[in-house]
């Protein structure tokens, strides 16, 4: 086809689906490929270096251009001498940031369209999303392109994708430019950095056993090579001329594997193939949605300090629990698209590509966790870290009984403590008076040593109290010198927390402490590295701010 004279551009060319399209274009010898992305230079993986892409870059059949779509001058330069543009660039869909998505998906799309017109590009194929018609509430069953855009979208990514798509379709025919938009649904396959890694992370954290919703929601997935193939089909249809081009241009198309499957069955096949537990426990979406809103709010608060982007968000819960199937007949009829890899084969290839994430390769923790060390191991750690579920459930039942009998009736702290001690003494008295055997069952007697402190233990407690007092004195001296702003901030926050606790009712305090004890340590053990990293970043930020304040106050003096 004279690929030396024909160039195409793939924007976002280092993205998940775009990498597969680039490889496909090079293998088909359709065009010389110009890869456009944000990175200052292209960094190839080992397989790419030795494969088709590395060879094409060395021979000149492929180029890499660093460009930001939000800068029109950079886009114009990247599109020089180009016949076709595959516009696939988009921010990470899991980051629900309106400003980011609008700047790339809408303003960036405007720059791409304008640059295509000014550089006399002949064809523009836009990568949209099936979510442009999804409102996050109503199910989509065999939905076709007659469905209008959602009046309110599930997230900012989908909303801005819809705006970008509308601009691309409207530009069809401008200065001879032919355009169309592809709406793939549920892209998966080798190279995915979101779906499979998230499933594995949840499985390793013990969360893969849960199904959000009733588990019967059907879904349309698309293997990544089929997405690339659909782009090639669209380009060929637009280039065909005559009636074929007229019917293909200016249209949007749903792209799927044409094999709807229950969402949770798909997840089960992936996890089972990698050696993890299949989901089995169903949780209604209405129960987990408030938790997802809380996670989302926490990310908005702590995101600037380095908190990782959470996967457990309201928009994702809606995606996991709704039916979303689409009709690809229009793509088959006008673009001559049919999947080249079946769903079953795509799943198998995906499992093979992620063999390094199989359960037998799961990294093992060396030594006890920090949460276990803080709890000093033993029974307390077994209960609060849910290692012995029987003991944990017994402890929860006992704590609930204490709450409803002694704290819920709105007793004062002294009254509640007195009642609790009275019940404990009566129980111990009755237990002590029982015979050693009752109807053949042995009654375990409590020894006196259960309530006494050994000399070593007493000394340890005394040393701990003394150390605490000395630490308090040292901090007091440091504060009196007026040098340590970080310490001042810590003390102020601690005192504010103490004053807050002082006005909280005993009932609220009890529930808060119990909830934190049975969830906080458990979550910390599972997310130890992430939480430690976040705390370190926050500490560094706090120190930097306090040092600035200190310098300002010193300069004023």
pLDDT at 204: 84
Among 19-28, 415-424, 528-537, the range of highest mean pLDDT: 19-28
Task: Answer whether 180's CB lies under 8 Å from 287's CB.
Answer: no
**Range of weakest confidence among 245-259, 290-304, 538-552:** 538-552
Q: 472 in a domain, yes or no?
A: no
pLDDT at 501: 64
pLDDT, mean of residues 426-450: 71
pLDDT band per the 50, 70, 90 thresholds, residue 517: confident
Answer yes or no: is pLDDT of 437 > 80.
no
Cα separation of 145 and 185, whole Å?
Answer: 13
Between residues 288 and 87, the one the model is more confident about: 87
Residue 434, CB-side half-sphere exposure with 13 Å CA sphere: 16
Q: 480 in a domain, yes or no?
A: no
Task: Answer whether 517's CB lies under 8 Å from 525's CB.
Answer: no
CATH number at residue 27: 3.40.50.720
pLDDT, mean of residues 536-556: 60
pLDDT band per the 50, 70, 90 thresholds, residue 394: confident
Q: 490 in a domain, yes or no?
A: no
In angstroms, the Cα distances linking 464 to 326, 457, 467, 468, 487 are 65, 11, 5, 6, 21
Answer yes or no: is pLDDT of 556 > 70.
no
Cα separation of 143 and 132, whole Å?
Answer: 12
Q: 142 in a domain, yes or no?
A: yes
pLDDT at 111: 97
pLDDT at 2: 41
pLDDT at 461: 78
Active-site residue among 72, 99, 122, 161?
Answer: 161
Q: What is the pTM of this model?
A: 0.69
List pLDDT tens digits, range 439-489: 666 766 666 566 666 777 778 778 878 887 888 787 777 777 776 666 777
Cα separation of 283 and 45, whole Å?
Answer: 40
Q: 95 in a domain, yes or no?
A: yes
Looking at residue 107, the DSSP 8-state letter turns out to be I
Pairing type for strands 261-262 and 218-219 reads: antiparallel
Cα separation of 226 and 24, whole Å?
Answer: 11
Length of the chain: 557
pLDDT band per the 50, 70, 90 thresholds, residue 116: very high
Average pLDDT, the chain: 85
- What DSSP assignment string belongs to 163-179? HHHHHHHHTTTGGG-EE
List pLDDT tens digits, range 484-515: 666 777 777 777 777 766 667 777 777 888 88
List pLDDT tens digits, range 183-226: 999 999 999 988 899 899 888 877 788 898 888 999 999 999 99
Between residues 342 and 520, the one the model is more confident about: 342
Look at the chain and report how many structural domains it folds into: 1
Cα separation of 66 and 58, whole Å?
Answer: 17
pLDDT band per the 50, 70, 90 thresholds, residue 292: confident
List pLDDT tens digits, range 74-92: 999 999 999 999 999 999 8
Answer yes or no: is pLDDT of 555 > 60.
no
Q: What is the dihedral of CA 337, 338, 341, 343, to 10 degrees?
A: 120
Q: 498 in a domain, yes or no?
A: no
Q: What percent of the chain has pLDDT over 90?
A: 49
Domain of 21, in residue numbers: 7-361
In angstroms, the Cα distances linking 458 to 105, 448, 455, 463, 472 are 66, 16, 5, 9, 21
Cα separation of 18 and 24, whole Å?
Answer: 10
Catalytic residue flag (residue 161): yes
Q: 500 in a domain, yes or no?
A: no
Q: 243 in a domain, yes or no?
A: yes
pLDDT, mean of residues 282-292: 84
List pLDDT tens digits, range 161-170: 999 999 999 9
Among 337-341, 510-514, 533-537, the range of highest mean pLDDT: 337-341
Determine whether 437 is exposed, middle or buried from the number of CB atoms within 10 Å of its CB (0-12, 13-18, 19+): exposed
pLDDT at 1: 38
């Amino acid at each position: 086809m004279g690929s030396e004279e024909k160039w195409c551009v793939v924007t976002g060319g280092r993205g998940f689906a775009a990498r597969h399209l680039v490889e496909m274009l090079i293998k088909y010898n359709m065009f010389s490929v110009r890869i456009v992305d944000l990175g200052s230079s292209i960094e190839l993986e080992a397989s790419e270096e030795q494969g088709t892409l590395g060879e094409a870059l060395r021979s000149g059949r492929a180029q890499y251009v660093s460009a930001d779509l939000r800068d029109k001058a950079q886009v114009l330069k990247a599109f020089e001498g180009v016949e076709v543009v595959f516009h696939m660039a988009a921010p990470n869909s899991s980051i629900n940031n309106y400003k980011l998505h609008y700047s790339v998906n809408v303003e960036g799309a405007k720059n791409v369209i304008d640059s295509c017109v000014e550089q006399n590009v002949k064809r523009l194929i836009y990568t949209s999303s099936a979510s442009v018609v999804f409102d996050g509430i109503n199910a989509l069953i065999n939905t076709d392109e007659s469905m209008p855009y959602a009046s309110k979208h599930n997230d900012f990514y989908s909303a801005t994708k819809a705006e970008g798509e509308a601009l691309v379709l409207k530009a069809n025919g401008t200065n001879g430019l032919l355009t169309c938009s592809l709406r793939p649904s549920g892209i998966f396959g080798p190279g995915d950095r979101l779906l499979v890694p998230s499933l594995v992370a949840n499985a390793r954290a013990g969360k893969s056993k849960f199904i959000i919703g009733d588990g019967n929601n059907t879904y349309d997935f698309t293997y990544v090579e089929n997405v690339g193939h659909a782009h090639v089909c669209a380009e060929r249809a637009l280039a065909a001329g005559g009636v074929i081009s007229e019917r293909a241009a200016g249209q949007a198309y749903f792209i799927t594997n044409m094999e709807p499957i229950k969402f949770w069955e798909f997840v089960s096949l992936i996890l089972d193939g990698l050696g993890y537990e299949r989901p089995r426990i169903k949780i209604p979406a209405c129960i987990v949605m408030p938790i997802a809103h809380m996670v989302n709010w926490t990310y908005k608060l702590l995101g600037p300090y380095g908190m990782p982007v959470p996967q457990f968000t309201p928009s994702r819960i809606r995606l996991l629990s709704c039916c979303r199937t689409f009709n690809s007949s229009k793509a088959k009829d006008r673009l001559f698209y049919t999947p080249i890899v079946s769903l079953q084969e795509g799943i198998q290839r995906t499992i093979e590509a992620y063999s390094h994430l199989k359960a037998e390769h799961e990294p093992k923790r060396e030594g006890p966790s920090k949460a276990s060390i803080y709890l000093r191991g033993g029974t307390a750690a077994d209960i609060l870290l849910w290692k012995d579920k029987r003991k944990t459930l017994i402890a929860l039942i006992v704590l609930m009984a204490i709450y409803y009998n002694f704290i819920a009736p709105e007793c004062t702290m002294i009254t509640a403590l007195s009642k609790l001690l009275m019940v404990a003494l009566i129980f111990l008295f009755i237990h002590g008076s029982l015979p050693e055997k009752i109807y053949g069952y042995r009654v375990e007697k409590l020894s006196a040593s259960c309530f006494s402190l050994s000399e070593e233990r007493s000394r340890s407690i005394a040393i701990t109290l003394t150390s605490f007092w000395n630490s308090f004195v040292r901090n007091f001296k440091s504060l009196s010198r007026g040098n340590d702003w970080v310490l001042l901030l810590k003390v102020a926050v601690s005192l504010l927390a103490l004053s807050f606790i002082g006005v909280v009712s005993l009932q609220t305090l009890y529930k808060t402490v119990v909830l934190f004890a049975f969830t906080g340590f458990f979550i910390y053990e599972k997310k130890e590295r992430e939480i430690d990293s976040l705390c370190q970043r926050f500490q560094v930020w706090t120190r930097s701010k306090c040092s600035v304040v200190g310098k300002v106050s010193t300069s004023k003096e």
